[in-house]
Structure formats: structure tokens, C-alpha cells
């Protein structure tokens, strides 16, 4: 390496790039030496600080462009940083080591690949290629792919790579209850085959570089000498191997502390499900002794009330470094957070649509409004309410509900059930799940049907009856057709909801998704299918539902309007902002999710709370939180308990809506108080009298519920009661919903 590379570039005159920074932002930019953690709250200008710091180092002559390593999580963020730095310098910047973790590791690996027996021109396999390669290996080892699904094995392998574990590192403690402990054996075979092909998968890019750094200290020393400064964005989202890679690059053998600056927000760490470790940011000061921590707490996005509400919620988390957002600019307090209680989930969607229309009538653009949901299946009622109201919308980070593959499959099953002559629907599902009907077999069936001038279902029934289909396929397809016969009998006797659920169950379609453990995606698909079954119950007949779907799918004219309401999950909303935000479904079991409550313990609950904080801080001017008294699961209604996060909102920044007459009748009394100070622009009311746990029900008391009858209180957590009802069994329910009998 040239000595010239080690000498920083002379200072370059430029305009005042520090102008407009507040005191904390300027300190973060000018603190160039030593380890630095910039705790940047939502809306505090972290991107500006990071890019200005990058430019400041260059303008002060502290380093050449190629002596700065800048790491982002997305290519979009890397492009934005490059453009902003160039704008500050007033010229393009060349030679930057700026990009995502994987792109930077790929660049390094091209130079050092031979050390691991790889060609420098190695191939990077995509997801389909990885799966195909693993299937080949498993077939060669005579593994039954049904009992050991390749996607599940690949998922475990990628998790090991994200934890920086090579095949030889896997012990019985690391292994999983899968393939009788042979998963690590196939991991080794997979890695061997990749090397033979001179190929890498996505996880290898980082794994190989960490391996090289550990095995070849001279390579690591080269990068120590090259990089004078390291900048890292979104540090709270780093996983184990990303953390190790950064530690190796930043830790020097010399006494000189590393010039590593990490920007992140522990309160916005919401990606543990994809490997992110919040502990990485929480232990920064331990990892880098003498590190300086600068908190950016001046928020330039939201009103004081929104900030206070968000801070009140997140303060309940114990695993955080601590900071409090405050307004960056002087101004009015703004509107209180509106907490709206609706009778049911359908009314919740209607209220949101009506409020959006009202705000739009007051000159707020649709593009300045967003509906942020906890789970993907929640989109359906909102999509339909928006369409009925003629409100243009877009689903961000996902497909519209009825466009999703599992919903199209479910709809095809329904069409084939209701219309045996619907060949397009039958073709879609004849081999989903796999029934041994490949393209050639389907082509022959299609030709036979044309020759006979019969629908595909009738033709298949005829071929089975005549013994024209042999072997395993004959038995599988005979059972498949029998499923339709039984479902049609059920349709006539018990109705369409039961018939469709029976068909999806007996055909193996629901089982296919239950057994797919690749990722959280399969669980999400099952949730969507449950929501579809719930939607069927809203229609008198299956024909009415199918006609409704056809009309919904034909509403493409709304997509041509660029000024649309955004509908997305809370995870997808991170980094975005809107004038008005709607946060529906704040109920126990939905948000926080039941999965996090059952399986994740305190850590999972705190991540759910961080998700609530992210949702609230997306709003600039107003936020509406909604929860429904009941939600329909399939054809039945189930009472819902308001989310604990609603209890955690500071009273002085919240108005709660009054229940409808329907709710008052259900509860037996009204427990809400109208607020006289409610702003005219919203239907807002004061907190319910029940929120501060004023209703006490003793253990062992006999209580009566309007739907479940009488039961005994076994447990009380504030107002959340666990009651053993004589007929309905064990239920968790709010004290307001029951009457003490004795």
C-alpha cells in the first residue's frame, strides 16, 4: 500500500457545511476522533448528521475518500448518502467505500477469495439457485424431501451463517431438532458443493470475509491501515456477523482507539425476527472503552403531544439506553392522540375511511395519510372500505390482499367448488399442493377435455373411473375429487363458510402452509387465509363473495392516482413520515401479537413496544389509535381487550372516543366520559374511567358476561381478568365486560 494513501488530503475550502445544525448535531459531526455512538431519536436528523460528518472529514483534510468506510443497510440509503455528500462538496466523490454490508464484503472477497479456494470471479447464487442446489444434495443422499423440506434446511443454514458459524463450528448445542441432528452434515455438504462450483450464496459474502479476517491477520491489518474512519448507519439493526465484521475492522492492536461512529436508535430496533441484536447497540460502550455517546433528542417532525405520547410508551421498556424526544422547533402543542374504540373490526375500517374523507375535504392530501397495521392480514377490511369510499390507496411493501398468491389459490378452490366447469380455477389448484400432475399430464388432460367437450373436473372424474390414471397419482387425485364432492354436500347442508374451510383443510392446502417453516412468511399466509374465511362469512352465499372479489379486482383505476393513502405494516413504515397516521388493531393478541406474548417473553414484548413507538413517531400532526371491542374469527365473534400500550399513553396527551349505542347495550353501561375540551376537528374524548385500574374484582368472585354466562375469576392483572366460564371455558377479559354476581 502506498505511503501516499496513508496521508490525509489537505483541507479543501467549501461553504459552511455546519450551518443549520443544532448543538448536539454539530458536536456529533465535529467529534471525529475515537469511538462514537450517536443515539438518534426518530425525526432528529440522523441522515443529515451522518452525511455531514462524512463530508466534514473530507473537507477538514482528515482522510481521502477511499480511507472512509461507510456502511448502510440498503442500496437506497447508500445512494442517498453519496448524493448528499457530493452536494455538500459541490462535486462528485469517487473511490468511496460506501455501500451495504454485503456489497462491501463482496468487493473485499473479490480480492481475497483465493485464500478460501474460490475464484475471484465467483458466482453469487440467488435464492432459487440455492434451493435447487440443496435439493440436489439431499436427493443424492436419499433424503425424503417431504419429511425434510429443503427450504426449512436452507433457513437453518442461513441462520448459522448469520451467527458466523462454519460447519465445523456447529455442535450439538447449535444444532436444531431437525433431520435427527443431521442438518449440520448437510450444511457441510452444501458448502463443499458451493466451493466446487466457485459460488457463494448471500450469507457467504460476510461469512467468508469474517473467516479471512480471523485466519489471516495480515489481511485485516491491510484494512486497518486503509480505513481511518468507519461510519455505520442503523447500528441497532445489526446481526451477529455484521457486528463481528465491524468489531474486527474497528479493533486495533495499537493503543490508538478506533475512529468508528455508529448511528442508531435502540428504541427503533424492531427486526429481531430477521436476526437483529439490540444488544449490539446497548453494549457499545463496553465494546469500545472510552466511547462517547451523543444523544440527538430534538425532533423536527412531530408535534409536542405526539412526542410526549411516544416517549410515555417507550419509557416502559427496561432494555434501553434512555433518551427523551423534545420539539426541535417552537410551536403549538398540537392535537391530542385520538384513541377510538369501535364495536368491531369492520366498523374500525369504516371509521378510518370516513375520517380520511373528512380530512381530505379539509384540503389534506391523500398522500399525507397512512394506515399502519401490525399484521398483513389486517389490510383486507381497510382496502375494501377505501374502495367503497372511492379513496385511492397503495399497499406499500406488499401486494393488495386479493392479489396475494394464497388468496388467489383460495379463491380458485372456491370457484372450482361453486363452478365445476371453471377450468382456469381448476388448473391453478390441481397441483397445489403437489399431486403428481406436471405440465405434460395437465396438457394431456386439457386435450382430452377438449376432445370430449367436457370441463376438466368431469374429464378427470371420467379418467379415474375408467382406470386411465395409474399408481400413486390415481389415489391422490381420487381423494382430491372426493374432497370436492364432500364439500358440495357440506355447502348444501351447513353453508359456504364451513364448506370452504373443509375443502381447504381436506385438500391439504392449509396443511401445506402449516408445514412450511421457512420463515414467518408461512404464518402470515395462514393469517391471510383465516382473514379470507372471515370475509366469506360477511356474504350470504359463496356466489355473492366471488362476485364481490371480481369487482374488487377490477378496481384498477384507483392505482393511476399518484396521490394515494398508504397502507402498510409498522415494520415497512420505519423511516417514513406522514401528516396523519392511523394505527388500528391496538388489542392484546394482535398488538402486542399473541406470538410475542406466548413465545418471546419480556424481550419480545419490549420489541412490540418499540414497534408502537415507531408507529406513533411516523405522525407529524395527528395520530389516531383504534381498537375494536370484538373481531370475527371465521364466522364467530371474539371479544378483544385493548392493548396495554393504550394504558401506557400519558393521559394529558390523549382523547378517547365515546362508544356507540351498540357498545353501551353490550356493556350494560357507559364507562366513557366526554371531554368538553375536545377539538372540533376530531371526535375525541377523555380517557375512560377504567384505565387507571379503578375497577377491582377479587379473586374467586363469580362474574357474569353477556355472552359467556357465569364464571369464576382465577387471576387478575389489573383489569385483565382470567375467568373460567361454566360453558365457554377459560377466557381473558376486561373487568368492564363483566358484572360481579357474588
CATH number at residue 524: 1.10.486.10
Q: Which residues contact 31 (CB under 8 A, 6 or more apart)?
A: 261, 292, 294
- pLDDT for position 251: 83
Domain presence at residue 591: yes
Lowest mean pLDDT among 49-63, 118-132, 570-584: 118-132
Lowest mean pLDDT among 38-42, 442-446, 462-466, 515-519: 515-519
**Is residue 384 predicted with pLDDT exceeding 70?**
yes
Residues 341 and 263 in one domain: no
For the chain, the average pLDDT equals: 83
Contact 360, 368 (CB under 8 A): no
At residue 256 the predicted structure's pLDDT band, cuts being 50, 70 and 90, is: low
Domain presence at residue 411: yes
Contact 365, 393 (CB under 8 A): no
Contact 19, 88 (CB under 8 A): no
Whole-angstrom Cα distance, residue 347 to residue 57?
55
Choosing from 152, 177, 197, the residue where a domain stops is: 197
Whole-angstrom Cα distance, residue 314 to residue 302?
16
- pLDDT for position 591: 94
Q: Count other C-beta atoms under 10 Å from residue 335's C-beta.
A: 22
Choosing from 252, 272, 296, the residue where a domain stops is: 296
At residue 234 the predicted structure's pLDDT band, cuts being 50, 70 and 90, is: very high
Contact 82, 89 (CB under 8 A): no
Residues 222 and 353 in one domain: no
Whole-angstrom Cα distance, residue 687 to residue 692?
9
Q: Count other C-beta atoms under 10 Å from residue 14's C-beta.
A: 14
Contact 605, 314 (CB under 8 A): no
Residues 586 and 683 in one domain: yes
Contact 591, 608 (CB under 8 A): yes
Contact 729, 708 (CB under 8 A): no
Q: Report in angstroms the alpha-carbon separations of 149 from 143, 155, 557, 578, 713.
A: 10, 10, 41, 42, 45
- pLDDT for position 475: 87
Whole-angstrom Cα distance, residue 223 to residue 220?
5
Q: Residue 614, Cα to own-chain centre: how many angstroms?
A: 12
**Is residue 9 predicted with pLDDT exceeding 60?**
no
Residues 490 and 598 in one domain: no
Grid look-up 389486517 returns 378
Contact 379, 349 (CB under 8 A): no
CATH number at residue 708: 2.30.30.140
**Is residue 404 predicted with pLDDT exceeding 60?**
yes
- pLDDT for position 5: 39
**Is residue 563 predicted with pLDDT exceeding 70?**
yes
Domain presence at residue 326: no
At residue 718 the predicted structure's pLDDT band, cuts being 50, 70 and 90, is: low
- pLDDT for position 673: 26
- pLDDT for position 151: 85
Q: Which of 406, 651, 359 is nearest to 513 (CA)?
A: 406
Lowest mean pLDDT among 107-111, 117-121, 367-371, 676-680: 676-680
Work out whether strand 337-344 and strand 619-633 pair parallel, antiparallel, or are unpaired: parallel
Q: Which of 345, 339, 338 is nearest to 639 (CA)?
A: 345
Lowest mean pLDDT among 379-383, 595-599, 605-609, 664-668: 664-668
Residues 699 and 729 in one domain: yes
Grid look-up 381448476 returns 426
C-beta contacts of 125-132 below 8 A and 24+ residues apart = 125/194, 125/199, 125/200, 125/201, 125/202, 130/154, 130/201
Domain presence at residue 113: no
- pLDDT for position 630: 86
**Is residue 598 predicted with pLDDT exceeding 90?**
no
Q: What is the DSSP letter of 319?
A: S
Q: What is the DSSP letter of 563?
A: S
Q: Which residues are catalytic?
A: 46-47, 233-234, 268, 618
**Is residue 126 predicted with pLDDT exceeding 50?**
yes
Residues 485 and 413 in one domain: yes
Whole-angstrom Cα distance, residue 40 to residue 272?
19
Residues 96 and 141 in one domain: no
Residues 429 and 496 in one domain: yes
Residues 644 and 527 in one domain: no
Grid look-up 388468496 returns 407
Choosing from 539, 571, 594, the residue where a domain stops is: 539
CATH number at residue 145: 1.10.10.160
Number of domains making up the chain: 5
Sheet strands (E) in 382-527: 393-395
Residues 50 and 164 in one domain: no
- pLDDT for position 702: 87
> Region 282-307: what's the mean pLDDT?
93
Domain presence at residue 173: yes
Residues 565 and 642 in one domain: yes
CATH number at residue 76: 3.40.50.300
Domain presence at residue 143: yes
User: pLDDT (tens digit, 9 = 90+) per residue, 63-107?
Assistant: 998 999 999 988 888 888 888 888 888 888 777 899 889 889 989
Domain presence at residue 728: yes
Q: What is the DSSP letter of 593?
A: B
> Region 376-392: what's the mean pLDDT?
88
Residues 160 and 76 in one domain: no
Range of the domain at 569: 332-392+561-692
Residues of the chain with pLDDT > 90, as a percent, come to 42
Q: DSSP readout, 134-174?
A: HHHHHHHTT--TTTS-HHHHHHHHHHHHHTT--GGG--TTT
Torsion of the alpha carbons at 588, 589, 592 and 594, rounded to the nearest 10: 150
Domain presence at residue 310: no
Amino acid at each position: 500500500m502506498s505511503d501516499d494513501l496513508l496521508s490525509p488530503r489537505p483541507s479543501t475550502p467549501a461553504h459552511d457545511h455546519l450551518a443549520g445544525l443544532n448543538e448536539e448535531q454539530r458536536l456529533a459531526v465535529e467529534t471525529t476522533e475515537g469511538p462514537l455512538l450517536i443515539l438518534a431519536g426518530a425525526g432528529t436528523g440522523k441522515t443529515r448528521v451522518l452525511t455531514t460528518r462524512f463530508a466534514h472529514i473530507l473537507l477538514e483534510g482528515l482522510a481521502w475518500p477511499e480511507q472512509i468506510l461507510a456502511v448502510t443497510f440498503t442500496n437506497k440509503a447508500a445512494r442517498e448518502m453519496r448524493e448528499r455528500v457530493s452536494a455538500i462538496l459541490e462535486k462528485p466523490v469517487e473511490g468511496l467505500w460506501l455501500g451495504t454490508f454485503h456489497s462491501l464484503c463482496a468487493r473485499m472477497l473479490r480480492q481475497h477469495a483465493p485464500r478460501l479456494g474460490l475464484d475471484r470471479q465467483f458466482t453469487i447464487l440467488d435464492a432459487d439457485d440455492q434451493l435447487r442446489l440443496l435439493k440436489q444434495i439431499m436427493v443424492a443422499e436419499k433424503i425424503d424431501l417431504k419429511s425434510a423440506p429443503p427450504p426449512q434446511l436452507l433457513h437453518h443454514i442461513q441462520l448459522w451463517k448469520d451467527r458466523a458459524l462454519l460447519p465445523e463450528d456447529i455442535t450439538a448445542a447449535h444444532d436444531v431438532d431437525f433431520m435427527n441432528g443431521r442438518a449440520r452434515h448437510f450444511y457441510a455438504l452444501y458448502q463443499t458443493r458451493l466451493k466446487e462450483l466457485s459460488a457463494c450464496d448471500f450469507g457467504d459474502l460476510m461469512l467468508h470475509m469474517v473467516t479471512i479476517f480471523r485466519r489471516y491477520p495480515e489481511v485485516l491489518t491491510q484494512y486497518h491501515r486503509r480505513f481511518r474512519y468507519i461510519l455505520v448507519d442503523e447500528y441497532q439493526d445489526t446481526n451477529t456477523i455484521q457486528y463481528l465484521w465491524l468489531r474486527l475492522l474497528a479493533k486495533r492492536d495499537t493503543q490508538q482507539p478506533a475512529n468508528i461512529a455508529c448511528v442508531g436508535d435502540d428504541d427503533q430496533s424492531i427486526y429481531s425476527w430477521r436476526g437483529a441484536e439490540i444488544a449490539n447497540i446497548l453494549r457499545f460502550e463496553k465494546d469500545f472503552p472510552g466511547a462517547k455517546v451523543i444523544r440527538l433528542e430534538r425532533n423536527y417532525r412531530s408535534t409536542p403531544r405526539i412526542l410526549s405520547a411516544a416517549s410515555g410508551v417507550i419509557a416502559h421498556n427496561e432494555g434501553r439506553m434512555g433518551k427523551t424526544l423534545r420539539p426541535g422547533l417552537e410551536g403549538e402543542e398540537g392535537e391530542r392522540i385520538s384513541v377510538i374504540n369501535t364495536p368491531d373490526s369492520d366498523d374500525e375500517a369504516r371509521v378510518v375511511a370516513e375520517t380520511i374523507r373528512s380530512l381530505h375535504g379539509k384540503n389534506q392530501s391523500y398522500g399525507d395519510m397512512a394506515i399502519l397495521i401490525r399484521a398483513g392480514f389486517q389490510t383486507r377490511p381497510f382496502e375494501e372500505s377505501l374502495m367503497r369510499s372511492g379513496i385511492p390507496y397503495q399497499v406499500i411493501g406488499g401486494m393488495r390482499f386479493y392479489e396475494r398468491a394464497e388468496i388467489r389459490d383460495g379463491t380458485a378452490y372456491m370457484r372450482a367448488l361453486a363452478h365445476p366447469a371453471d377450468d382456469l380455477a381448476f388448473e391453478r389448484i390441481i397441483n397445489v399442493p403437489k399431486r403428481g400432475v406436471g405440465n405434460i399430464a395437465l396438457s394431456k388432460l386439457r386435450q382430452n377435455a377438449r376432445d370430449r367437450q367436457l370441463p376438466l373436473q368431469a374429464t378427470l372424474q371420467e379418467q379415474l373411473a375408467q382406470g386411465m390414471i395409474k399408481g400413486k397419482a390415481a389415489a391422490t387425485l381420487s381423494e382430491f375429487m372426493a374432497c370436492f364432492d364432500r364439500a358440495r354436500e357440506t355447502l348444501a347442508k351447513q353453508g359456504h363458510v364451513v364448506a370452504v374451510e373443509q375443502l381447504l383443510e381436506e385438500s391439504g392446502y392449509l396443511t401445506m402452509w402449516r408445514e412450511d417453516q421457512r420463515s414467518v412468511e408461512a404464518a402470515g399466509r395462514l393469517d391471510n387465509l383465516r382473514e379470507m374465511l372471515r370475509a366469506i362469512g360477511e356474504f350470504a352465499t359463496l356466489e355473492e363473495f366471488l362476485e364481490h372479489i371480481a369487482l374488487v379486482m377490477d378496481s384498477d383505476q384507483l392505482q393511476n392516482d399518484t396521490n394515494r393513502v398508504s397502507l402498510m405494516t409498522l415494520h415497512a413504515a420505519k423511516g417514513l413520515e406522514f401528516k396523519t397516521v392511523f394505527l388500528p388493531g391496538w388489542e392484546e393478541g394482535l398488538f402486542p401479537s399473541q406470538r410475542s406474548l406466548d413465545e418471546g417473553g419480556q424481550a419480545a414484548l419490549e420489541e412490540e413496544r418499540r414497534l408502537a413507538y415507531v408507529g406513533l413517531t411516523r405522525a407529524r400532526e395527528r395520530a389516531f389509535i383504534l381498537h375494536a371491542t370484538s373481531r370475527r374469527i371465521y364466522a364467530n365473534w371474539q371479544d378483544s381487550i385493548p392493548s396495554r400500550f393504550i394504558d401506557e399513553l400519558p393521559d394529558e396527551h390523549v382523547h378517547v372516543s365515546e362508544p356507540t349505542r351498540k357498545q353501551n347495550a353490550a356493556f350494560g353501561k357507559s364507562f366513557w366520559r366526554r371531554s368538553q375540551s375536545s377539538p372540533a376537528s376530531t371526535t375525541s374524548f377523555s380517557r375512560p374511567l377504567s384505565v387507571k385500574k379503578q375497577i377491582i374484582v377479587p379473586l374467586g368472585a363469580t362474574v357474569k358476561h353477556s355472552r359467556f354466562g357465569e364464571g369464576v375469576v382465577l387471576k387478575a392483572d389489573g383489569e385483565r381478568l382470567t375467568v373460567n366460564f361454566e360453558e365457554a371455558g377459560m377466557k381473558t377479559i376486561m373487568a368492564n365486560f363483566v358484572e360481579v354476581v357474588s
